[in-house]
Amino acid sequence: MTHTDTASGRAKMDHGEEFVDILEERRRSYDLGHALRTIKLHPYQGGPRCSTAKLNKAVLDSQYLRYVAEEIATETGSSVVEVREQARRLLEEMSQNLQLSSLRLMSYTITKVAKRLFSSIYVNMEGLSMLQKATQETPVILMPNHKSYLDFLVISYILFTYDIPVPVIASVIRKYLLGLKQQSIGLAEMKMVGEILRRSGAFFIRRAIGSDKLYWAVLSEYVKTIVRTGYAPMKFYVEGLRSRTLKSLTPKLGMMHMVLEPYFKSEVFDITLVPISISYDRVLEESLHAHELLGVPKPKETTTSLLKSTKVLQEDYGAMHVNFGRPISVRQMCEGKINRCQYNLTPRDLPQKPTEEAQACVRWLAHLVVRVQDEGSVISPWSLMACMLLQAPITALTEEGLLWHQLTGKTLWLRKLVLDCGARLNWPAQTPDSDVMSSAVALHRSVVHQKAGRVYLVQEEEPARRHPISPQERMMRTASAVLMLASYRNQSLHVFVRPALVATALHITESTQRDELFAFYCFLQELFSYEFVSIPGELSQDFEEACSLLKKCGAAHISQQEVTPSAGGMETLSFLRALIQPFIDSYQVMLRYLCEEGDQVLTEKQFLPAVRSLATRLILSGELDTYEALSSDTQKNLLLALRRLEAVTKSRASEENEFNVNKAAIRTIGDVLSGKIPPQMLQTTPDARL
Amino acid sequence: MAANGSGGGSDRQRVAQQRLRIIAGHLRRPADEDSAVRAAECKAPQSESDASAEGKTVPRRRQEIMKWNGWGYNDTKFIFNKKGQTEFTGKRYRLSGMILPGLQDWFENTFGASVHHKSPATNILNSSAVQPPNLNEAFVEELKSTGVPFSHDAEDRVFRANGHCLHEIFPLREGKIGRVPDTVVWPNCHNDVVKIVELACKHNVCLIPFGGGTSVSSALECPLEETRSIVSLDTSQMNRILWIDEKNLTAHVEAGIIGQDLERLLNESGYCTGHEPDSMEFSSLGGWVATRASGMKKNVYGNIEDLVVHIKMVTPQGVIEKSCQGPRMSTGPDIHHFILGSEGTLGLVTEVTMKIRPVPAYQKYGSVVFPDFEQGVACLREVARQRCAPASIRLMDNKQFQFGHALKPQGSSMFTSFLDGLKKFYITKFKGFDPNRLCVATLLFEGDREKVLQHEKQVYDIAAKFGGLAAGEDNGQRGYMLTFVIAYLRDLGLDYYVIAESFETSVPWDRVLDVCRNVKARIVRECKERGVQFSPLSTCRVTQTYDAGACVYFYFAFNYRGLSDPIHTFEQVEHAAREEILANGGSLSHHHGGGDRFKIKRLLIKRRRRVGVNDAAVITGCILTSKRWPGHPEPRGEEVILRSPRHVLTASPSRKLMGESSIYQPCTSSANTLPRPYHRSAGPLPYPVFHVPTSICQGKPLRLRTACHRVKLILGLYNVSSVLGPPLGARHCPPTVWLHRAPTSLSLYLHRGHCTQETENMT
* Angle ∠(B513,B519,B522) on CA atoms, nearest 5: 135
Selected residue of A261, A267, A271 to mutate for chain B interface (largest B Cβ count, 10 A)? A267
Cβ within 8 Å, pair B521-A270: yes
Q: What are the φ/ψ torsions at residue A117 (nearest 5 degrees)?
A: -75, -45
Q: Does A350 touch chain B (CB under 8 A)?
A: no
- Sheet of A601-603, strands arranged across: A601-603, A658-661, A648-650
Q: pLDDT class for B615, splitting at 50, 70, 90? A: very low
Is residue A441 within 8 A of residue A429, CB to CB? The reply is: no
- Judged by a CB distance cut-off of 8 A, whether residue A355 touches chain B is no
Rounded to an integer, what distance in angstroms lies between the CA atom of residue B192 and that of residue B90?
A: 36
pLDDT, tens digit (0-9, with 9 covering 90-100), for B485-532: 888 999 999 999 999 999 899 999 999 999 999 999 999 999 999 999
Q: Output the average pLDDT for chain A.
A: 85
Greater model confidence, B559 or B641 = B559
Chain A residue numbers with beta carbons less than 8 Å from the beta carbon of B511 are 266
For A102, what's the count of Cα atoms within 13 Å in the CB-facing half-sphere?
18
Question: Binding site residues of B for substrate, as ranges?
Answer: 490
Of A260, A238, A259, A153, the C-alpha closest to A196 is A153
Please tell me which residue, B442 or B709, carries the higher pLDDT value: B442
- Specify the pLDDT at position B200: 85
For residues A661 and A599, give the distance between their C-alpha atoms in angstroms, rounded to a whole number: 8
Least confident of A85-94, B262-271, B337-346: B337-346
CB B329 within 8 A of CB B437: no
pLDDT band at B333; cut points 50, 70, 90: confident
Work out whether the CA dihedral B374, B378, B384, B387 comes out positive or negative.
negative
Q: Annotated binding site of B, which residues?
A: 209-215, 291-294, 343-349, 490
Closest to B161 measured CA to CA, from B214, B221, B121: B221
> What pLDDT shows up at residue B350?
93
A347 in contact with chain B, both atoms CB, cutoff 8 A = yes
Residue B680's pLDDT is what? 25
Q: Is the pLDDT of residue B382 over 90?
A: yes
* pLDDT tens, residue by residue, A448-503: 888 888 898 887 665 555 667 777 888 888 888 899 999 999 999 999 999 999 99
Closest chain B residue by Cα to residue A344: B585
**B96-124: average pLDDT:** 88
Please tell me the number of Cα atoms within 13 Å of A13 on its side-chain side. 25
Quote the pLDDT of residue A410: 93
Task: Report CA Rg, chain B.
Answer: 26
Contacts of A347 in chain B (CB under 8 A): 510
Q: How far apart are CA B68 and CA A439, in angstroms?
A: 82
Q: For A602-631, what is each residue's pLDDT tens digit?
A: 888 888 888 888 999 998 888 888 888 899
Nearest to B518 among A266, A341, A347 (CB): A266
Query: Rounded to whole angstroms, how far apart are CA atoms A201 and A156?
Result: 9
Shortest alpha-carbon distance between residue A370 and chain B (Å): 27
Q: Which residues of A touch B583 (CB under 8 A)?
A: 266, 339-341
Within 8 A of A270 by CB-CB distance, chain B residues are 521
Mean pLDDT value of segment B444-451: 94
Q: B517–A348: do the CB atoms touch at under 8 Å?
A: no
C-beta atoms of A340 and B514 within 8 A: no
Query: Among A62-66, A67-71, A678-682, which is the least confidently predicted range?
Result: A678-682
**Residue B699, number of CB atoms within 10 A of its CB:** 16
Q: Does A16 touch chain B (CB under 8 A)?
A: no
The confidence score (pLDDT) of residue B598 equals 36
Binding annotation of B for FAD: 209-215, 291-294, 343-349
Q: Answer whether A341 sits within 8 Å of B518, measured CB to CB.
A: no
Q: Please check whether residue A269 touches B, CB under 8 A.
A: yes
Residue B624 Cα, gap to closest chain A Cα (Å)? 8
Query: How many whole angstroms separate alpha carbon B110 and alpha carbon B106?
Result: 6
- Which stretch of A243-252, A430-439, B470-479 has the lowest confidence by average pLDDT? B470-479
Contact across the interface for A266 and B638, Cβ inside 8 Å: no
> What DSSP line would sit under A595-615, residue for residue?
IIIS-SEEEHHHHHHHHHHHH
Say if residues B294 and B392 touch (Cβ distance below 8 Å).
no
Task: Determine the residue type at B695.
Answer: S
pLDDT at B625 over 50: no
Which residues make Cβ contacts (< 8 Å) with residue A275, sequence separation at least 6?
A143, A144, A325, A328, A369, A372, A373, A376
- Which has more pLDDT, B700 or B132? B132
Q: B677 or A556, which is more confident? A: A556
What letter represents residue B632's amino acid?
H
In this complex, is the C-beta atom of B584 within 8 Å of any C-beta atom belonging to chain A? yes
Where does the pLDDT of residue B347 fall: very low under 50, low under 70, confident under 90, or very high at 90 and above? confident
Q: State the catalytic residue, choosing from B553, B555, B560, B664.
A: B553
* Chain A residues in contact with B510 (beta carbon < 8 A): 347-349
The answer to whether residue A622 neighbours chain B at the CB level (below 8 Å) is no
Q: What residue in A sits closest to B523 (Cα-Cα)?
A: A269
Residue type, A649: T
pLDDT band at B673 (very low <50, low <70, confident <90, very high): very low
Query: pLDDT grade, residue B414 (50/70/90)?
Result: low
Task: Annotate A211-250 with b (16+ C-beta within 10 A) or e (fewer).
Answer: eeebbbbbbbbbbbbbbbbbbbbbbbbbbbebbbbbbbbb
Please give the residue of chain A at the shortest CA–CA distance from B522. Answer: A269
Q: Is B436 on the interface with A (CB under 8 A)?
A: yes
Q: Which of residues 270-329 of A touch B (CB under 8 A)?
A: 270
What percentage of residues in chain B have a pLDDT greater than 90?
38
Predicted confidence at residue A299, as pLDDT, reads 53
Q: Is A67 exposed, middle or buried (0-12, 13-18, 19+ CB in 10 A)?
A: middle
Instruction: Kindly tell me if the per-residue pLDDT of B357 is higher than 70.
Output: yes
Cβ <8 Å between B372 and A269: no
Q: Tell me, what amino acid is at A146?
A: H
User: What is the β-pairing status of strands A202-206 and A168-173?
Assistant: parallel
User: pTM of the prediction?
Assistant: 0.82
pLDDT exceeds 70 at position A143: yes
Q: What is the pLDDT of residues B521-567, one digit of tens each?
A: 999 999 999 999 899 999 999 999 999 999 999 999 999 998 999 99
**Is A348 an interface residue toward B (CB < 8 Å)?**
yes
Who among B436, B510, B582 is closest to A348 (CB)? Answer: B510
Query: What CA–CA distance (Å, rounded) separates A659 from A113?
Result: 46
A348 and B626: CB-CB below 8 Å? no
* Interface residue B637 vs chain A (CB under 8 A): no
Pairwise pLDDT comparison (B1 vs B567), residue with the higher score: B567
DSSP letter at B121 equals P
Q: Which residues pair with B368 in a beta bridge?
A: B441, B470
The CA distance from A374 to A424, in Å, is 10
Which of these, A315, A282, A314, lies nearest to A440 by C-alpha position?
A282
Fill in the DSSP letter of residue A676.
Answer: S
Give residue B697's pLDDT. Answer: 30
**Stretch A580-608: mean pLDDT, rounded?**
88
Q: What is the pLDDT of residue A93?
A: 87
A226: confidence class by pLDDT, cuts 50, 70, 90: very high
Q: Is the pLDDT of residue B38 over 70?
A: no
Burial class (CB in 10 A: 0-12, 13-18, 19+), A210: exposed
Q: Are B183 and B151 in contact (CB under 8 A)?
A: yes
- Predicted local distance difference test score (pLDDT) of residue A683: 55
What's the Cα-to-Cα distance from A343 to each of A348, A352, B228, B504, rounded to whole Å?
Answer: 7, 10, 45, 21
Whole-angstrom distance, CA of residue A562 vs CA of residue B19: 75
Q: Which of A391-400, B152-161, B269-278, B635-644 has the lowest mean pLDDT?
A: B635-644
- The DSSP output letter for B730 is G
- Helix spans in A39-175 (H): 52-60, 63-76, 80-94, 100-117, 125-137, 151-161
Residue B54's pLDDT band, with cuts at 50, 70 and 90, is: low
Nearest residue in chain B measured CA to CA from A348: B510
Q: Which of B687, B106, B79, B623 is nearest to B399 (CA)?
A: B106
Strand order in the sheet with A454-457: A402-403, A454-457, A448-451
Length of chain A: 690
Is B553 marked active-site? yes
CB contact under 8 A, B585 and A341: yes
> How confident is residue A305, by pLDDT bands cut at 50, 70 and 90?
low
Minimum mean pLDDT range among A353-357, A646-650, B600-604: B600-604
For residue B268, with 0-12 CB atoms within 10 Å meaning exposed, 13-18 middle and 19 or more buried, which class applies? Answer: exposed
Residue B298 is predicted with a pLDDT of 94
Q: Evaluate if residue B62 carries a pLDDT over 50.
A: yes
Q: Is A432 on the interface with B (CB under 8 A)?
A: no
DSSP string, A200-239: TTEEEEES--TT-HHHHHHHHHHHHHHHHHT-S-EE--TT
According to the model, what pLDDT value does residue B669 have? 27
Length of chain B in residues, anyone? 763
Q: Side chain identity at A111, as an amino acid letter? A: T
pLDDT at residue number A311 = 65
Mean of pLDDT values over A167-177: 76
Give yes or no for residue A413 having a pLDDT over 60: yes
Q: What is the mean pLDDT of residues A651-665?
A: 77
Q: Pick the residue from chain B with its C-alpha nearest to A271.
A: B518
Tell me the chain B residues in contact with residue A349 when contact means C-beta distances shorter than 8 Å.
510
Chain B's closest residue to A346, CA to CA, is B585
Residue A188 pLDDT grade (very low, low, confident, very high; cuts 50, 70, 90): low
pLDDT in tens, A100-116: 888 888 888 888 888 88
Q: In degrees to the nearest 10, what's the CA dihedral of B420, B424, B425, B429? A: 170
Residue B442 has pLDDT above 70, yes or no: yes
CB of A203 closer than 8 Å to CB of A170: yes
Whole-complex ipTM: 0.86
Q: In the prediction, which pLDDT does A523 show?
A: 92
Which residue among A46, A267, A349 sits closest to B514, beta carbon to beta carbon?
A267
Of all residues in chain B, the percent with pLDDT exceeding 70 is: 69
Res A178: pLDDT: 53
Residues B470, B473, B474, B477, CA torsion sign: positive
What is residue B18's predicted lDDT score, i.e. its pLDDT? 60
3-state secondary structure of B643: strand
Residue B497, sorted as left (phi over 0), alpha (psi -120 to 50) or beta, turns out to be left
pLDDT (tens digit, 9 = 90+) per residue, A347-384? 999 888 889 999 999 999 999 999 999 999 999 999 99
Which tops the pLDDT comparison, B27 or B426?
A: B426
The pLDDT, as a whole number, for residue B651 is: 21
Q: Is the pLDDT of residue B26 over 50?
A: no
Residue of A nearest to B374 (CA): A47
| pLDDT at A12 (0 to 100) | 58
Q: Measured between alpha carbons, how far is A231 from A534 in angstroms, rounded to an integer?
A: 33
Which H or E run includes B290?
helix B285-291
Q: Does A54 touch chain B (CB under 8 A)?
A: no
Q: Which helix (H) or strand (E) holds A660?
A: strand A658-661
Interface test with chain B among A261, A272, A343, A344, by most B beta carbons within 10 Å: A344
B626, A341: Cβ pair inside 8 Å? Answer: yes
pLDDT at A386: 93
* Chain B closest-CA separation from residue A342 CA (Å): 8
The answer on pLDDT for B687 being more than 90 is no
* Residues of B with Cβ-Cβ distance to A268 under 8 angstroms: 517-518
Phi, psi of A535 (to 5 degrees): -80, 125
Average pLDDT value for residue range B370-388: 95
Distance CA B125, CA B382 (A): 52
Q: In chain B, which residues have their Cβ closer than 8 Å to the Cβ of A269?
A: 517-518, 521-522
Residues of B in contact with A267 (CB under 8 A): 514
State whether residue B396 is helix, strand or coil: strand
Q: What pLDDT does residue B257 have?
A: 95
B548 interfacial to chain A (CB closer than 8 Å): no
Of B237, B290, B234, B241, the C-alpha closest to B263 is: B241
